[in-house]
Amino acid sequence: MTTIAILDYGMGNRRSVEKALERVGARARITRQPDDVRAADGLIVPGVGAFPEAMRRLRDGGLDALIRERVEAGGPVLGICLGMQLLFERSVEHEGAEGLGLFGGEVTRLRTEGLRLPHIGWNLVRFQRPSPLAAGLPDACAFYHVHSFAARPTDDGDRLGVADYGETFASVVVRDPLFGVQFHPEKSSAHGLRLLENFAAICARVAA
């Protein structure tokens, strides 16, 4: 059975991600122990809250280096919501902070053209090209978003899926073995479960 570590740094709905992974047949482990993370077939970085505080917690626990280590070793890593934003170089949220720098680009406030922030609810995501992460999903399907900031990749090739809320923003980013989704797949019904199942399948293939 595929084992996926869910990084426990105190920010993010870890239990709901764990239950969603179990529903798609993966073994999930919420952990901050380096040996557990290294032994897992894949890693999920969840996240709810503010970017600077999240990065402080990752650095204080040495978890930022652990995430980079897993990516450099070719292990699949998926960032969810704030966890996706942390994969970028920096954010302007609050006082601003440096991110993990695994994707080029920064995180800035959504330009909503007067629409309410935070952006909360179901939003259609349009996939730009085929990807194992999107296998079996429609070219456009809805996922549940909760955010006020959006990542702006410097490399257009990193964008896999986009959505619109006042502006068009990157909702799914991919650069194997690194993946990120701005939405919450664990709250996104059948399509969200399929995406997590796809990530588990990617982890299984890499492990094999």
Q: Is the pTM of this model over 0.75?
A: yes
Residue 134: Cβ within 10 Å count: 22
What is the model's pLDDT at position 94? 93
Percentage with pLDDT > 90 across the chain: 95
Residue 13 pLDDT grade (very low, low, confident, very high; cuts 50, 70, 90): confident
Secondary structure class of 105 (helix, strand, coil): strand
- The DSSP symbol for 174 reads E
The pLDDT value given to residue 12: 81
Task: State residue 90's pLDDT score.
Answer: 98
Catalytic residue among 18, 93, 106, 186: 186
Residue 113 vs residue 63, higher pLDDT: 63
Predicted confidence band of residue 195 (pLDDT cuts 50, 70, 90)? very high
Q: Which of 18, 81, 106, 203 is catalytic?
A: 81
Is 141 among the catalytic positions? no
Q: Catalytic: which of 119, 184, 191, 197?
A: 184
With 90 as the cut, is the pLDDT of residue 11 above it? no
Other beta carbons within 10 Å of 195 = 29
Per-residue pLDDT, 99? 98
User: Amino acid identity, residue 111?
Assistant: R
- Mean pLDDT across the stretch 97-117? 96
Our answer to whether residue 69 is catalytic in this structure is no
Handedness of CA 154, 156, 161, 167 (dihedral sign): positive
Stretch 161-176: mean pLDDT: 97
β pairing state of 149-153 and 105-109: antiparallel
Give 33-62 pLDDT, tens digit per residue: 999 999 999 999 999 999 999 999 999 999
